[in-house]
């Protein structure tokens, strides 16, 4: 039998209607006579709803949570974060990889049959064993074509299986029962669960497709239904006959297992990333990347993790120019292709009448913004490590953020405008396609970023939008290689006009530079939180 599928009601318009119809048809076909009536979630707890009551007891994680594993002995659970940290709730702490410099993020976790230990698995196939969990091998030393995404335990042998995104299964101290590695998958595999007698396992792909091996029974899938949110994990029911799939929005799909509710009706801060069933299969926990835990059915809420808001996100800050540029015209005057536009490698920047340089201002504000964003959990990379070097060229500055697939990038500058001009401006890209670049995909997000950053900067500093360039503090630019070459959302902020006496006094005041950094950091954070939810 199969439970109903609840989707997020906020989906509107033709696509949402089509999905609802498709799901409804599927439910009618699939539900067998005598299936129990669907139950609403009896208990729903998340980090958001419980913060007020238990703030002091909520541990903080600087990395996103990636999985939840049940301690079937105690009824508690463990949460694992991508940096290897493990948080036990009603479950003993047996060790973690938080102090280890991981080559690759942790992506999954599994417990031993007596719950006296657990394993963590990283994307590179590395396995870490704690408590009475036995290390039986890993893929950590082997180059994998596709990252490992999940693991499951063979309770009969104490061994385990790893599964990669391409469906390849790696067995360690456990029988190999088959894999999807040779199939042409429509979507990557994202999760794995073992049967209770450990004679088999299921794999699930992001499109809801399910693959059964050994004595695992295929009880249905979402593979033929268009999903608004990808499936991110699965859990096996205790009686071995079925399983649940969970989507990034917390929607739960039950196949041969009782539907106990979902978070599909809630608006989540961050995507659901994992699922674990209770010992008797009468409930399950869902966990979000933000550490929020949702206990459904007979699963008991024992606590959650507060993940720093920008954990797992990479921000690139590009302090314009460099201190050594002025003495190295042979380098910085070299022409580069800025995306169909030839421009110099870099420039020296401007300075105030009394000689306070733009590169020094840019670098100081960048360091301050970096510190603020790191405190929120972001990985912050500067395009230059000091204020005494030369360059890098503007195309390389863009390439740094592109290579890191940064969630957002910002170039920090101060302008050399007319002496009578006051205020700041945010330069935002317009679409430019060249033989070496195409920034069309970032124009929309960058425009949104520009407006958010403009508001945040004005609010933090009190500095007005420029009275000599752009419109309301926004300038659309097609002539900046740093924006034309970017493949990540990016803008450039001219924080003030260094050639204006009023603004020149501001930029030389460290307290104002801190306000400028606060405005930039706040703008980026607000943008990232909007971007994460859409
Ligand atoms: Zn500049």
- Stretch 215-237: mean pLDDT: 94
**Over pLDDT 70: what percentage of the chain?**
88
Expressed in angstroms and rounded, the spacing between residue 335 Cα and the centre of ligand 1 is 17
Instruction: Read off the CATH number of the domain in which 131 is found.
Output: 2.130.10.10
- Here the tokens at position 243 are 């399983």
Please write the tens of the pLDDT for every residue from 139-175: 988 999 999 999 999 988 999 999 999 999 999 999 9
Q: How many C-beta atoms surround the C-beta of residue 208 within 10 A?
A: 23
Does 236 reside within a domain? yes
Please write the tens of the pLDDT for every residue from 170-210: 999 999 999 998 888 999 999 999 998 768 999 999 999 99
pLDDT of residue 347: 97
Active site residue 343: no
Does 218 reside within a domain? yes
Which of 253, 273, 307 represents a domain boundary (last residue)?
307
Confidence tier at 263 by pLDDT (50, 70, 90): confident
Distance CA 200, CA 202 (A): 7
pLDDT of residue 338: 96
Confidence tier at 446 by pLDDT (50, 70, 90): very high
pTM: predicted TM-score of the whole model, two decimal places: 0.76
Output the furthest CA–CA distance in the chain (Å, rounded): 85
- Stretch 347-364: mean pLDDT: 98
Query: Of these residues, 463, 494, 525, 532, which one is catalytic?
Result: 494
Expressed in angstroms and rounded, the spacing between residue 357 Cα and the centre of ligand 1 is 10
Same domain, 424 and 295: no
Expressed in angstroms and rounded, the spacing between residue 414 Cα and the centre of ligand 1 is 5
Expressed in angstroms and rounded, the spacing between residue 416 Cα and the centre of ligand 1 is 8
Which of 277, 307, 337 represents a domain boundary (last residue)?
307
φ and ψ at residue 292, rounded to 5 degrees: -70, 135
What DSSP line would sit under 57-96, residue for residue?
G--EESS-EEEEEEETTTTEEEEEETTS-EEEESS-----
- Stretch 102-126: mean pLDDT: 94
Same domain, 235 and 363: no
Same domain, 327 and 433: yes
Please write the tens of the pLDDT for every residue from 16-54: 222 332 332 222 222 222 222 233 332 333 333 333 334
Domain that includes residue 128, residue range:
31-307
Distance CA 44, CA 172 (A): 37
Confidence tier at 268 by pLDDT (50, 70, 90): low
pLDDT of residue 529: 86
Does 441 reside within a domain? yes
Same domain, 344 and 287: no
Expressed in angstroms and rounded, the spacing between residue 358 Cα and the centre of ligand 1 is 7
- Stretch 246-274: mean pLDDT: 88
């Amino acid at each position: 039998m199969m439970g109903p599928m609840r989707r997020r009601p906020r989906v509107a318009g033709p696509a949402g209607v089509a999905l609802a119809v498709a799901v409804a048809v599927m439910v009618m076909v699939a539900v067998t006579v005598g299936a129990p009536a669907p139950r609403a979630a009896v208990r729903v707890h998340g980090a958001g709803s419980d913060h007020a009551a238990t703030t002091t007891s909520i541990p903080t994680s600087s990395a996103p949570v990636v999985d939840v594993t049940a301690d079937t002995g105690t009824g508690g659970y463990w949460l694992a974060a991508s940096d290897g940290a493990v948080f036990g709730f009603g479950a003993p702490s047996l060790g973690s990889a938080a102090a280890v410099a991981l080559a690759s993020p942790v992506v999954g976790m599994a417990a031993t049959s007596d719950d006296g230990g657990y394993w963590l698995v990283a994307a590179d196939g590395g396995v870490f064993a704690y408590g009475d969990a036995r290390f039986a091998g890993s893929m950590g030393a082997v180059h994998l074509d596709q990252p490992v995404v999940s693991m499951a335990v063979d309770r009969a042998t104490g061994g385990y299986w790893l599964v990669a995104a391409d469906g390849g299964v790696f067995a360690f101290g456990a029988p190999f029962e088959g894999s999807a590695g040779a199939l042409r998958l429509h979507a990557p595999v994202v999760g794995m669960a073992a049967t209770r007698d450990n004679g088999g396992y299921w794999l699930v792909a992001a499109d809801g497709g399910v693959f059964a091996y050994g004595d695992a029974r295929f009880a249905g899938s979402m593979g033929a239904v268009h999903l608004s949110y990808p499936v991110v994990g699965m859990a096996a029911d205790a009686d071995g006959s079925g399983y649940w799939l969970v989507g990034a929005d917390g929607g739960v799909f039950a196949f041969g297992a009782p539907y106990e509710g979902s978070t599909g009706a809630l608006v989540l801060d961050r995507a659901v990333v994992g699922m674990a069933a209770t010992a008797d299969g009468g409930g399950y926990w869902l966990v979000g990347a933000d550490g929020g835990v949702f206990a459904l059915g007979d699963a008991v809420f024992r606590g959650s993790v507060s993940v720093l808001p920008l954990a797992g996100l990479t921000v690139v800050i590009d302090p314009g120019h460099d201190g050594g540029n002025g003495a190295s015209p042979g380098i910085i005057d070299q022409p580069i292709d800025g995306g169909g536009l030839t421009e110099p490698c870099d420039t020296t920047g401007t300075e105030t009448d009394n000689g306070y340089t733009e590169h020094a201002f840019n670098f100081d504000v960048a360091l301050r913004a970096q510190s603020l964003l790191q405190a929120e959990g972001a990985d912050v990379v500067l395009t230059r490590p000091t204020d005494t070097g030369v360059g890098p060229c503007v195309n390389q500055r863009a390439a740094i953020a592109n290579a890191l697939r940064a969630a957002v990038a910002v170039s920090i500058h101060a302008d050399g405008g007319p002496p009578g001009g006051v205020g700041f401006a945010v330069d935002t890209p317009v679409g430019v396609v060249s033989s070496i670049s195409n920034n069309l995909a970032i124009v929309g997000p960058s425009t949104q970023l520009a407006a958010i950053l403009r508001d945040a900067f004005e609010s933090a500093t009190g500095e007005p939008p420029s009275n000599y360039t752009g419109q309301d503090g926004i300038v659309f630019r097609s002539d900046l290689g740093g924006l034309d070459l970017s493949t990540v959302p990016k803008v450039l902020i001219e924080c003030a006009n260094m050639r204006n006496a009023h603004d020149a006094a501001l930029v030389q005041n460290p307290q104002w530079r801190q306000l400028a950094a606060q405005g930039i950091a706040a703008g980026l954070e607000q943008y990232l939180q909007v971007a994460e939810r859409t």
